[in-house]
Amino acid sequence: TMVRSARATLRAPTVVGAFSCRRVKRTITPDPDPLLLSSSDAGSEAGLMFLVTAESLEECITEREKSLLVNAGGVFGLASKLKTDTKQGLHGEQLGDAALEVRREAYGRNEFEYPPPKTFLRLCAAAFNDLTIQILCVAALISLGIGAGVASHREEYGYLEGIAIVAVVCFVVLLQAGIDYSKEIKFRQLNSVKDNYAVKVVRGGEVHAVTAGEVLVGDLVELVAGDKVPADGIFVEGMKFKANEAAMTGEPIDIGKDTERDPFMLSGTSISEGSGRMIVTCVGGRSQWGVILKTLIVEPGSTPLQDRLDVLVVTIGNFGIGAAVLTFLASMIRWIINGANGKGWDGLKILEFLINSVTIVVVAIPEGLPIAITLGLAFAMRKMMADQNLVRRLEACETMGSATQLNADKTGTLTQNRMTVTDAWFGGKQYDVMPPGDASDAFADMLAESCCVNSDANLAKDVDKGITDHIGSKTECALLQLVEDLRNAGKGNAPPSQHFAYVAKREAHEVAQRYHFTSARKRMSTAIASPSGGGSRLHCKGASEIVVTMCSKMMMTDGSVVDFKPADLDAANDAITAMASTGLRTLCIAYVDLKTAPGALPEDAPEENLTLLGIVGIKDPIRPETREAVRLLRGAGVVVRMVTGDNVLTATAIAREAGILVDGEEGLVLEGPVFRKMSQKEKESVAVKIRVLARSSPADKLTLVNLQKALGEVVSVTGDGTNDAPALKEADVGFALGIAGTEIAKEACDIVILDDNIQSMAKAVLWGRNVFQSIRKFLQFQLVVNVVAVSLNFISACAGIEELPLAAVPLLWVNMIMDSMGALALATEPPSPKLMERKPFGRFAPLVNKEMWRNVIVMSTYQLIVCLVLLFAGEDLLNLKNKGDHHYVVLRLNSVIFNTFVMMQVFSEINSRKISEIAVFENIHKSPVFISIIIATVATQVALIEGVGRSVVGPAVGFMNLSGTEWWVSVLIGTGALPVGLVARLMPIKWFPGKTDEEADKEAQENARAAQLAAAAAAEAEGEAQAERFRAFLQKTKQELAEAATRAAEEAAEEEENDLFVGPEAPPQAAQAGAGAGGYGKALLPGEGDAMAAFVQAGKRIPRRGEVGLGSDEISRFEDLGYVMSGSRHSRMNAIRIRKENQVYTAEEKAALAMINHEEKQAREQKVMADLKKLVDDAAGGGQ
C-alpha cells in the first residue's frame, strides 16, 4: 500500500497525503492479456522487442496482482514474453551486447536514485533562508549606506557597524553550512550504500556472479538463505524458500514463497531460509525499493524552534520600529519647538533624526541570536555524536527536547532483535535464567545434540558490526544460541573450538533422514545413527501442545530418564500456558532411540514413545537498558508507545516489561485493523491515549504521526525498515537504527542511533532540552542588552543629546562581539540532569516565558536607571565639569557609561546561567568555556579602554581611557547585577507579563483535551447520526417488508380464488368441499376435464366455478399432459422446471411458481432481518 500510494504521489503531485491506504483501480481495457505490449504502447523501438511493458510489470508487483501473471500464462508465459527461460535464464542471442542494451533501454538499469548530497553552496543558500539572517542583511545594507554615505558618520567610522554585521552574517552562514556539510559527509560514510554486492544469475544455463547493478529484467537469479533480493521478481522454483520482508512490509514473520499463493519477490528484502530462483521483473526506480526512495527527496518543514524564533524576531523588529518611529517623532517635535523659539530651521537635522531612528532599529535586532543558536546546536550535535546519536538535521537537536510523543518500534529498538530462549521447563521445573545452573553434562549434551542436529539454521559473525547474524529460522537460531550459552557455561562437554559449538555437533552426527515441518504436522524431526550403534535416534521439535502428548518418558536435568506420567503432562501443559500468556513462543524438544537402522527408516516419521527433554520459551528479549530509558523518558513527560506488527499478546507483554504499560494508568492497547476501521474523529480521540498499537502496518504509523501532529504534539518516531521511511520523514524527529536500519530508513531520518539503543534517545532528549534552555539563557541575556541600548539611545535622542552615549563602535562591541561571546559561553554549558525531571516544552511553549520576562524587565530597569543617572547627573557625581571642555567631558562621561554598561553585561551573563533558580554559580567550575569567555570579555574591555582609549582612535570612535576611581565605579555598579538578579527571582511571578512553562503546558493540554473531546463528541455525533440513519433505514425496510408481505398474501389469496388446485396439496377448502373418485374436492362434470386440459395445454389460467377437485380420471389426464401429481412439492417443482425449459407455463405452474417465489421471498426477507439484527447487535456491542 505504501509503495502504491508513494507512486501515486509521485505521478500526481496534486494528491494530498503521500501515503494513503486507499486502493485506486486502473481502468483495464478488454485486452485478453493485460501484460501484452502493443506497438502503440511501447513508445520506443526497444520496447517493441518484448511482449510485456515495464509499467505492467511494475503494477503486477505493486498490486500483487496474480491475475496479470495468470493472463500472461503463468511464470513460463511471462518468461517467454521477457525472452528468457526458467531453466537457462537469458540465453542465445539475448546475451549479445546489443540485445542486453535494448533490454536496458526497455526496462531500465538496476541503479537507485538516492537523494543527492547537498553541495556546500546549496547549504549556504539554505542558511540564508533564516528570517533573522535576512533581517540582518537589510540592517547591514542600511548601516553601510548611512555609515559610508553620510560624511559625519564616515568620519566616526560609522560604516564599521555595517561591516561587522556583514561579518556576523558570513560567519553564521559559513559556520552552519560547514557543520551541515561535515555531518553530511559523515553520514554518507556511515551509510555507504552497498548496491554493488555480488548476485548469482543464470545465463545460458550457467551460474555467473555479477554485481547487483548489472542485474537486468529477465535475469534468472539464484538465491539462498542470507542473500539480499537485488530487484523485484517472480518466484520460479525453490525448496523451503522463505523471505524476510520486514524491511518492506513490517511483517515480522518470514513469508513462504511459491508459485501459487505468493510468488512476488520484493527488492530490499532478504532470504531467511531455503534456496530458490526468481525471474527479475522490475529494476532500479521501478522496483519497490526505488519507488520508496524517490519519496524521500522532500525538503523538511520548519521545526518548533524555527516557528518560535520567527515570531520572536518579528516581535523584536516591531519593537525596534516602534522605538524608531517614536524617536523620530519626538525629535521632530523638539526641532519644531526649537525652530518656533527662534533657534533656526536646519533641514539637515531631519536627516540626522532619520539616521538616529534607523540606528535604533539596527540596535534592536539581536545579531548574536543566530550565532547562539548555531553554536548551541553544533555543540549539542558534537556531544550527541559521543552519545551514539548522529544528527543529520541540526535543528533536530533542539526539536527532540520539545518532543511530547515517541512512537517506538519494538523489534531492534526496545528489544535486542535476537530471538532468544529466555524461559524453559526442564525435568518438571520452571527456569527463567538460561542456561539452567543445575543441568548435568549428560542432559546438556543431549539437549545440545537435539538443537544442533534437528535444524537447518546457521549463525555467522558480522565482524564489522560486532554482532552474530541469524541465518535461517529465527526460532532455530535461538536454539543454536542456547547451545553456545551451554558451552560458555561449561556444560555438555562441548569440544573447544574457534567456531560455533553447533558446527562440531553437526559434523559428528550425519543426518540419516529428515522429516520437514509442515503446517499439518506442526513439527520437524531428524534421524541420525544411534551413538551406541545398531539403531537410530530421532530428534523431534515442534508445537508444544502436540509433541508433549507423544512423550512417554522424560529426561531429568541430572541425566536420568523417568516415566512421563499424567500429572507430568498436566504440569507441562500448565507451563506451556504460563509461558504463552507472557508472550513467549513455546517449543517442545524430545527424542527417541529406535532399533531401526538408519537406512531402513520409514517415509513417515516414527514419532511415538518420545522422551521429553523440555519445553523452551522463546522471545525477542528487551534490551537491559530499555526499562531505565523508558522510565527516564516517562519522567521527562514524553509519552512512549509501542507500534509493532507483532500480535497483541506479545506486544502487551513486552510493553509491560519495558514499563510502557503500567497498572493503574490510562493506557490503550489497540490492534491495527481496529484502528484502521475507526472514523477520523474516533482516531483523533485515541491518538494520544494509545500505548500499544499491535498488528500495525506502516500506514498505521504514518496515520498516527499525522494525527498527533494535528493535535499539537511534537512527535518523534523510531524505525529500521524501508517501510518506516514515510513516518520517519513526516515526524518532527525521525530516529533510524544505525545497525539494523536500512539505507532508506537512514535517508529519511533526522538522527541515526548508531548503537540501536533507546537509551540514546533519552540522551537526545536531554541534549535537546539543554539546547532550548541555552537559547533561552542567551535570549535572557541579549534582550537585556538590546532593551537597555535601544531605550538609552531613544531617551537620549528625545532629550536632544546630540552625542549619543553609545557610539557606533562601542555599540558594535556590546551588541555583536560581546553577544557572540556570550552566545558561545551560554551555549556550551553542559546539561543538568534536572532537565529530565520537567515536562517537555512542547510545540506551543513560549520562547520567552514569564520567568524570563521578570528577569529581563528587572535587570533592564536597573541598568537603564544606572545609565540614565550617569547620563544626566554623571558630570556632578563623577566631578567632571572642571576637567576640560564640553567635548572632553561628554567623551569621558560616555566612556564611563560604556564601561559600566559592559561590566553590567558581564555579571548579567553570570545571572543568565539560571532562569528561575537562585544559585547562579552552581556547577560553574564544570563550565571551563564559560569561565574562559568571561575572563576574555573583561580582558578585551580593559584592552579597549586602556589601550585603544589612549590612542587617537579611541576618541574618534567614542571612548577614552578611565581613571582608577572610574574603573572601581564601573565594576561596583556591574556587580550590582548579581543582587538585583537575586531580588528579581524572589519577586512574585504574577506581577509580570507572559506565560510560565506550566501555564503554557496546561493551556496546551487543555487545548489538546478540548480537541480530543471535540473529536470524541464529533465521533459520537457522527455515530448517533449514523445510528439515526440506520434506524430510519430499518423502519423503512420493515415497512417495505410488511407491505410486500401484505401484497404477497393478497396475490396468494387471489391465486387461490382463481387458480386450479390439483393433487394432494390442494388447499383445505378444496378437500372439504367433497371428493370424486380417488380425488379431492368436487369431481369434474363430464367433459370439464377435457376442457380444463385444453386450457392447460393452451397455457391459460383456468377459471373455477366453486370448489373444484380432481377425480382419478382427471389426474390421469393431467399426468398424460406431463404433470407429476405425486402430491409432493418437490415433484411439482420438477414438473415446473421441465416445462420451464420449454418456456411453456400452465396455470397450475404459474400458481405453484407464485407460491414458491413467495416462500423464497419470505426466506430472503427473514435473512435480511436477521442480518440487520446482527449488524445492530454488533454495532451496539462495539460501542459504535
Return the active site residues: 409
Half-sphere exposure of residue 885, counting CA atoms within 13 Å on the CB side?
1
Give, in order, the Cα–Cα distances in Å from 1178 to each of 163, 668, 1022, 1172. 75, 21, 17, 10
Question: Omega into 435 within 30° of 0, i.e. cis?
Answer: yes
Report d(CA 326, CA 331) in Å as an integer.
8
Report d(CA 420, CA 624) in Å as an integer.
14
Q: Which helix (H) or strand (E) is 464 found in, with range?
A: none
Residue 1110, beta-bridge partner list: 1080
DSSP secondary-structure letter at 157? T
- According to the 3-state scheme, what is the secondary structure of 633-665? HHHCCCEEEEECCCCHHHHHHHHHHHCCCCCCC
Residue 536, beta-bridge partner list: 529, 594
Max intra-chain CA distance, the chain: 158
- According to the 3-state scheme, what is the secondary structure of 87-108? CCEECHHHHCHHHHHHHHHHHC
According to DSSP H, which parts of 693-757 are helical? Answer: 698-710, 725-730, 743-748
Cβ atoms < 10 Å from Cβ of 1090: 12
Give, in order, the Cα–Cα distances in Å from 726 to each of 188, 344, 514, 697, 854. 20, 71, 44, 12, 43
Evaluate whether 206 touches 177 at the Cβ level (below 8 Å). no
Half-sphere exposure of residue 384, counting CA atoms within 13 Å on the CB side?
35
Find where cell 580593559 sits: 942
Report d(CA 749, CA 751) in Å as an integer.
6
Q: What share of the chain is helix, strand, coil (3-state, %, to 5)?
A: 55, 15, 30
Report d(CA 537, CA 553) in Å as an integer.
15
Backbone angles phi, psi at 720, to 5 degrees: -125, -20
DSSP of 828-883: TPPPPGGGGGS---TTT--SS-HHHHHHHHHHHHHHHHHHHHHHHHHHHHTT-TTS
Half-sphere exposure of residue 635, counting CA atoms within 13 Å on the CB side?
13
Evaluate whether 693 touches 988 at the Cβ level (below 8 Å). no
Give, in order, the Cα–Cα distances in Å from 1049 to each of 244, 971, 1044, 1060, 1154. 63, 110, 9, 18, 11
Residue 471, beta-bridge partner list: 458
Using a 10 angstrom Cβ sphere, with 0-12 exposed, 13-18 middle and 19 or more buried, the burial of residue 951 is: exposed
Report d(CA 349, CA 332) in Å as an integer.
9
Backbone angles phi, psi at 829, to 5 degrees: -75, 135
**End-to-end Cα, the chain, rounded Å:** 27
**What angle do the packed helices 368-386 and 131-149 form, to 10 degrees?**
140
The residue length of the chain stands at 1184
**Quick one: which of 237, 232, 258, 254 has its CA closest to 245?**
254
Backbone angles phi, psi at 527, to 5 degrees: -105, 140
Q: What angle do CA 1124, 1125, 1127 make, to 5 degrees?
A: 125
